[in-house]
């Protein structure tokens, strides 16, 4: 409500947050919820793979365009999280396409890489300044991300 003095955002807990455990030499992407920054190299990895795949075949570039994100690279396995179990994920999993992506990813990462495809939630979008203002100053409630 307008004029309300009630806090919109709950106060921080006095208990320390648990820090996620990472394996040495492993790369992990952000969880997408703002709680974990992840490895910055993974944030742009899919875009780098797309850029190098395009000269080989435009279809290989298009399959990764907005359909997935790099989740982790650990023990030589690059995990790609697809937002839906549909066409793009299945096409990337095809042997011929997978070999090309693995070759490109290995070159970028500097180590042989095999690709594993999983279903992952789409990362939350950042709030616009207008929405942030409405929540913080006017008690607005976010009811949908759409």
Q: In the prediction, which pLDDT does 86 show? A: 86
Query: Cα(126)–Cα(83) distance, rounded to whole angstroms?
Result: 18
Cβ proximity of 49 and 104 under 8 Å: yes
Cβ proximity of 105 and 45 under 8 Å: yes
Q: Which domains does the chain have, with CATH numbers?
A: 38-138 (3.30.300.180)
Beta bridge partners of 78: 73, 115
Cβ proximity of 137 and 9 under 8 Å: no
Residue 93, classified by CB atoms within 10 Å of its CB into exposed (0-12), middle (13-18) or buried (19+), is: middle
Smallest CA-to-CA distance from 134 within 121, 125, 143 is with 143
Give me the average pLDDT of each 10-residue run along the chain (146 residues). 54 45 44 49 92 95 93 94 91 96 94 94 83 88 77
Query: Cα(17)–Cα(55) distance, rounded to whole angstroms?
Result: 45
Contacts within 8 Å (CB) and 24+ apart, 3-7: 4/139, 6/139
pTM: 0.63
Q: In the prediction, which pLDDT does 31 show? A: 45
Q: Which residues, other chains included, contact 78 with Cβ-Cβ below 8 Å and sequence gap of 6+?
A: 45, 70, 72, 102, 105, 109, 113, 114, 115, 116
């Amino acid at each position: 409500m307008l004029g309300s003095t009630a806090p919109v955002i709950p106060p921080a807990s006095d208990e320390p947050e648990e820090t996620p455990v990472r394996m040495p030499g492993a790369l992990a992407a952000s969880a997408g919820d703002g709680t974990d920054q992840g490895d910055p190299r993974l944030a742009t990895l899919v875009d780098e793979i797309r850029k190098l795949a395009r000269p080989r075949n435009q279809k290989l570039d298009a399959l990764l365009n907005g359909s997935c994100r790099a989740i982790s690279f650990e023990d030589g396995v690059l995990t790609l999280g697809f937002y839906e179990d549909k066409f793009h994920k299945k096409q990337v999993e095809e042997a011929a396409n997978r070999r090309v992506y693995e070759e490109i990813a290995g070159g970028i990462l500097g180590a042989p890489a095999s690709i594993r495809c999983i279903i992952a939630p789409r990362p939350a979008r950042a709030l616009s300044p207008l929405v942030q203002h409405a929540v913080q100053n006017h008690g607005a409630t976010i009811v949908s991300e759409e």
